[in-house]
Structures are given as structure tokens and as C-alpha cells.
């Protein structure tokens, strides 16, 4: 009995000091914002990393420069993934590191804003870039534009940059400054019907265009050498692929299309003998069973966005430029909790690319396949967003200013659990002592 009592007392002594320990380095706290509900973050090495938000968070997520007196320097991998009610995220000047797939599946996100003095990142038309605008990091999933032209000078489209942009985006123009397309960059862009990959692209990442359901036509310009695995897997509408002679390798399942009965037309820049030099990996049966057309001459797009291919069988692909006008009016009232009303009126006129039409004259004549615009769509959208800003309080501790949110932090439930445990041990110990005395 004495041995059991000694053991219990040791456990009590070990548990009691927990109440004074500081878990700031590893524990996750909650910052509450009047307009966005909840942001999660961690503090490590005196720096804050935003790790996520709750799935019910709504509105505009305004990330503060400091939390608990420490600078917010990074946004972790997939931090806002599946935050399906957020409409805007504002990144402060202090953030210098952003992980991959940060905004993937944030299906209501229309705008990503960055502080003007941020040294590492910037935003243009709501799209997130690095400061030099050589990396396109994230395109808001719910932007209403039907077409987007990547700015000239961008060299890489980062992983998941356009992923799930399926509600409106139908046309993406890639400039010849781009050299790499990251993993799942256009994953599930369900309205994109045609894409031209410039010859400057030396790397097309794994699953780059995976499950783009309406993608019917792909043109690789001369210079492309490799297509990574599953890059275009699941593109069930695909019926035309243009491949240059420069292509040397197609990785596993790059064009694996499930449940497809119709044959694909492949327009190849080399001869039938040249085709044998292309290393085509497994699970590309839709390529090996396709109809190949040889000696296709592929020319780069002109200023009118037209790509022409000449061969014994001609193929012409035409793309249409889309002009978007956005007018923004901002009004701020002076109050303790300021409200901002932003009215955005967008007018977009677009002419989507349709499925190719084919005209045959005779076996000795040329066959012409043309992709043209057959209809026009005019959309006018008016959106009003009201944002309630968080009231911040500045206090002074040991001569240093500390900014804190006015909302309380989550109650430390672990203190309650430890207290209950100590209480139970005390009761059991008393009971054992009384029993021992009774026996004596």
C-alpha cells in the first residue's frame, strides 16, 4: 500500500508543474477577425506562420503584420485549401514565404491582395506573383474572367496555380517566356477547351492538366521535348494533339483517357520514321491507337493569336483575345470598426473555341480542319462586398509595443484536464490512506 501511495505522489508532483509551462512555440492559437471568423497560426523562433482557416470562415481574410507581438512571415502549405467561403485574402508586407497549393479548392476566392511594400510578392488583377513577376503562384479560383493572358516575362507557372478554376475560365494564353509548368498547375480547369504550349516550355509537370474535362485540342510548339506522367490524363474530350519533332519522351499515362471510344487525331512534325524515336511509356494507349498525320509544319501564334499548321493535311487553330473592364469604387466610413464597401462591375465579352469542323474534298486534295469562334457570350456581373475590419489594440510591455486582437484566445482546456487528473489522484490517495488506517 505504501508503495502505491508513493507512486501516486510522484505522479502528482510531475503533473503539478505543467500549469506553469509555456507552450507558445508549438501550440496553435486562434485569431478571431470580425469579418473572417478564424485563422490558425503557429509561433516558432519568434515568427508566425499562418497554417489555415476553418472551413466555415467567410468573407475577406486579412492577415495581420504581427500576432502576439511577433511578425507574420510565412503562409504554410495548403493553408487556405478548401476554405470554400473565403472571397478574398490580403497578404501583409511582412510575409516572405508562401507554401504550395495554398489556395487550392478555395472555390469562392475572387481576389488575392498583397501589401505594396512586400519585398517578396505582388498581386496584379487579383493574381498572385513573386515580386519580379517571373512566377505565377496562384490564380483565384472564382474569378469571373472567361479568358486570361499570362503576362510576358513569367517563366514558371507554379504547382496548383490554376487548379479548380473551372467556373468561368475557358481560355489561357501562355507566353513564350514560360519555361516550366508545375505539378497540377491546371488541374480540373473544367472549361478550358484548347491550349497552346509554347516551345520555350522544357518541363510540363505531373498531372499539369489532369481532368480538364472539356479540353479538346492541344498544340505543342516546336521546342517541347518532354511530357511528364499523367500530364493530360482524364481529359475525356480530347480529340486533337499537335506534337513537334522536338518531342523525345512521353511519360507514363501522360495521355491516359478513360472510357474513350473515338480515335484521337495526332498531327506530328516529323515523319513516320521519326515517330519511332519518341519514347512513349506505358498507359498511353490512346496515343498508340490514334490516327497519326505526319510532316506537319507548326508555326508559332501571330499577334492575332492564330496558330497555323501546314502539311499534306492542313490544320488551322484560331484563338480569340478577350478584353475585360473592371471598375472599382471604394468608400470608407470613419468609425471604431470601419466598413469598406467595394462595388465591382465586370463586363466580359468572349468568343469560345468550338469543336473542330472538318471539310474533305477528295483523296488527292487537302483536308482542312478549322477551330473558329461560332458564338459570342456577353456577361455583366455586379458584386458588392462588405468587409468589417478588425479593431486592434496596442499595449506596451516592458517598453515594447504588442499588437493583440480584441477577441479572446481559445480557453486552454488542457489546464482543466490536468486539474481534474490531479483531483482524482488526490481523492484516490485519501481513500487509500483511510483504508490503511482502518486496517491498522
Domain span at residue 415?
Answer: 2-20+410-439
How many C-beta atoms lie closer than 10 Å to residue 137's C-beta? 22
Q: Are residues 302 and 423 in the same domain?
A: no
Contacts of 302 (CB under 8 A, 6+ apart): none
Q: What's the pLDDT score for residue 326?
A: 35
Q: Is 404 part of a structural domain of the chain?
A: no
- pLDDT, residue 127, reads 98
Is residue 318 domain-shared with residue 267, that is, in the same domain?
A: yes
Examine residue 237 and state whether it is found in any structural domain, yes or no: yes
In a domain, 105, yes or no: yes
Distance CA 114, CA 241 (A): 38
Q: Within the chain, which residues score under 50 in pLDDT?
A: 10, 12-37, 303-412
Instruction: Establish if 401 belongs to a structural domain.
Output: no
- Pair 14, 40 in one domain: no
Q: Within this chain, do residues 233 and 293 fall inside the same structural domain, yes or no? A: yes
**Residue 254 CB partners (closer than 8 Å, separation 6+):** 227, 228, 229, 230, 231, 232, 233, 281, 284
Instruction: Please check whether residues 236 and 318 belong to one and the same domain.
Output: yes
**pLDDT tens profile 315-362:** 444 443 333 333 333 333 333 333 333 333 333 333 343 334 333 333
Residue 365, judged by CB atoms within 10 A of its CB (0-12, 13-18, 19+), counts as: exposed
Q: Is residue 338 part of a domain?
A: no
Same domain for 50 and 178?
A: no
Alpha helices in 278-386 (DSSP H): 285-288
Separation between Cα atoms, residue 110 and residue 143, nearest integer Å = 5
pLDDT of residue 405: 36
Same domain, 106 and 199: no
pLDDT at 4: 55
In a domain, 377, yes or no: yes
Q: In DSSP terms, which residues pair with 403 in a beta bridge?
A: 394
For residues 194 and 317, state if they share a domain. yes
Q: Do 385 and 431 have their domain in common?
A: no
CA 159, CA 224: separation in Å to the nearest integer? 19
Give the sign of the dihedral formed by CA 166, CA 169, CA 175, CA 177. Answer: negative
Per the structure, how many domains does the chain have? 3
- On whether residue 161 sits in a domain, the answer given is no
Residues 358, 434 within the same domain: no
Identify the pLDDT of residue 396: 33
End-to-end CA distance of the chain, in Å?
12
Residues 171 and 46 in one domain: no
Amino acid at each position: 500500500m505504501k508503495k502505491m501511495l508513493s507512486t501516486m505522489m510522484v505522479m502528482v508532483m510531475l503533473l503539478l508543474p505543467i500549469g506553469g509551462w509555456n507552450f507558445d512555440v508549438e501550440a496553435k492559437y486562434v485569431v478571431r477577425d470580425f469579418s473572417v471568423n478564424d485563422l490558425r497560426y503557429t509561433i516558432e523562433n519568434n515568427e508566425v506562420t499562418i497554417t489555415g482557416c476553418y472551413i466555415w470562415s467567410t468573407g475577406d481574410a486579412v492577415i495581420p503584420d504581427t500576432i502576439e507581438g511577433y511578425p507574420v512571415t510565412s503562409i504554410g502549405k495548403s493553408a487556405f485549401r478548401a476554405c470554400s467561403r473565403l472571397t478574398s485574402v490580403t497578404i501583409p508586407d511582412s510575409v516572405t514565404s508562401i507554401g504550395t497549393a495554398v489556395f487550392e479548392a478555395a472555390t469562392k476566392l475572387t481576389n488575392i491582395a498583397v501589401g505594396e511594400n512586400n519585398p517578396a510578392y505582388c498581386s496584379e488583377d487579383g493574381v498572385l506573383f513573386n515580386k519580379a513577376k517571373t512566377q505565377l503562384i496562384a490564380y483565384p479560383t472564382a474569378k469571373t474572367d472567361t479568358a486570361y493572358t499570362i503576362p510576358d516575362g513569367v517563366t514558371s507557372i507554379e504547382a496548383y496555380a490554376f487548379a479548380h478554376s473551372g467556373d468561368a475560365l475557358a481560355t489561357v494564353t501562355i507566353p513564350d517566356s514560360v519555361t516550366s509548368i508545375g505539378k497540377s498547375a491546371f488541374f480540373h480547369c473544367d472549361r478550358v477547351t484548347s491550349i497552346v504550349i509554347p516551345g520555350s516550355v522544357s518541363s510540363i509537370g505531373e498531372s499539369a492538366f489532369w481532368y480538364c474535362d472539356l479540353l479538346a485540342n492541344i498544340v505543342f510548339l516546336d521546342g517541347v521535348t518532354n511530357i511528364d506522367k499523367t500530364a493530360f490524363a482524364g481529359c475525356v474530350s480530347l480529340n486533337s494533339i499537335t506534337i513537334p519533332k522536338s518531342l523525345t519522351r512521353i511519360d507514363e499515362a501522360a495521355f491516359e483517357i478513360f472510357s474513350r471510344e473515338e480515335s484521337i487525331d495526332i498531327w506530328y512534325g516529323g515523319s513516320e520514321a521519326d515517330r519511332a524515336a519518341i519514347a512513349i511509356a506505358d498507359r498511353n494507349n490512346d496515343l498508340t491507337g490514334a490516327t497519326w498525320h505526319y510532316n506537319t509544319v507548326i508555326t508559332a501564334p501571330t499577334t492575332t493569336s492564330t496558330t497555323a499548321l501546314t502539311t499534306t493535311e492542313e490544320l488551322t487553330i484560331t484563338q480569340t483575345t478577350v478584353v475585360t473592364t473592371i471598375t472599382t469604387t471604394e468608400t470608407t466610413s470613419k468609425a471604431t470598426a470601419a466598413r469598406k464597401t467595394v462595388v465591382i462591375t465586370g463586363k466580359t465579352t468572349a468568343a469560345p473555341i468550338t469543336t473542330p469542323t472538318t471539310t474533305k474534298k477528295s483523296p488527292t486534295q487537302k483536308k482542312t480542319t478549322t477551330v473558329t469562334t461560332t458564338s459570342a457570350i456577353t456577361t455583366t456581373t455586379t458584386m458588392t462586398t462588405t468587409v468589417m475590419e478588425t479593431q486592434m489594440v496596442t499595449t506596451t510591455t516592458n517598453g515594447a509595443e504588442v499588437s493583440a486582437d480584441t477577441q479572446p484566445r481559445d480557453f486552454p482546456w488542457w489546464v482543466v484536464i490536468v486539474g481534474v487528473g490531479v483531483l482524482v489522484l488526490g481523492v484516490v490517495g485519501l481513500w487509500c490512506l483511510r483504508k490503511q488506517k482502518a486496517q491498522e
